[in-house]
Amino acid sequence: MKRVLLCLLLLTLMVSFSVAAMESQLNHRDIELFSGYERQHPLSQDIDYDGPVIGVFIPLGKRWFINAKASFQSESLRQNNFDLNRQQVTLGYTFLQATNTFWQVELGGIREQFEQQIEDFSAEDSDSGYLGKLGWNVNVNGKHQFAIIAQGHLLYETNRYLLHNQYRYLLGQDWSVGARFSLGYDETFKHDVNEYRLHIAYHF
């Protein structure tokens, strides 16, 4: 219950997000707030992380923008509890715009906190690093949004590279649902970090 209350409090107070705020980017509207729910399933692990995600998209003119996101995910497995929190903030630029497509580049920072509790044993770890993205975005009929995003970030002294394949469907003006499948590679540990994510979101 404490974890749920903390997540709800953070959901109310914090302002962050970056999971494809493409509607606001296309229309260059004012600040867009986002809240939703995500499930993350690393394909190399028998574990699912679930939790709320919140964020903000801030346009800085017609091409520049700030994108921020915070996710609070957890999992319990045989009396073992895992918490995975991640925050990222990027400065982005939109270029090569056409009628229904555009490209974006983003640079910024990322921070992650991981905590595990196994019976009488508990451990915590956290780190901050750098983040870069390059994405191709497509908007179809104002409802269907597709994106292919190449991402690289440095955390825990290791480089990770991911290719996100992303889809969102807009339910009216306020709600959206979507899915993302990611192929990734960890340079230090030389293993994949493939995962998929499902989300439902409300846009304020």
Summarize pLDDT for 79-100 with one digit per residue, the tens. 788 888 989 999 999 998 888 9
Cα(18)–Cα(157) distance, rounded to whole angstroms? 23
Place of tokens 């480089």: 159
Q: What's this model's pTM, rounded to 2 decimal places?
A: 0.73
| pLDDT tens readout for residues 176-202 | 888 888 888 877 655 566 777 787 887
Q: Which residues contact 1 (CB under 8 A, 6 or more apart)?
A: none
Stated as kind and residue range, the H or E segment containing 78 is: none
Higher per-residue pLDDT: 22 or 107? 107
Helices (H), 14-160: 22-27
Q: Are 55 and 24 within 8 A, CB to CB?
A: no
At residue 20, the pLDDT reads 38
Confidence check: pLDDT of 103 > 80: yes
Cα(131)–Cα(115) distance, rounded to whole angstroms? 22
| pLDDT tens readout for residues 108-126 | 999 988 888 877 778 888 8
| pLDDT tens readout for residues 57-68 | 899 988 999 999
At residue 3, the pLDDT reads 44
Place of tokens 């995600």: 53
Q: In the numeric block, which tokens belong to residue 81?
A: 């509890």
pLDDT band at 17 (very low <50, low <70, confident <90, very high): very low
Cα(106)–Cα(89) distance, rounded to whole angstroms? 9
Question: Mean pLDDT for the chain?
Answer: 78
Cα(147)–Cα(106) distance, rounded to whole angstroms? 14
At residue 191, the pLDDT reads 57
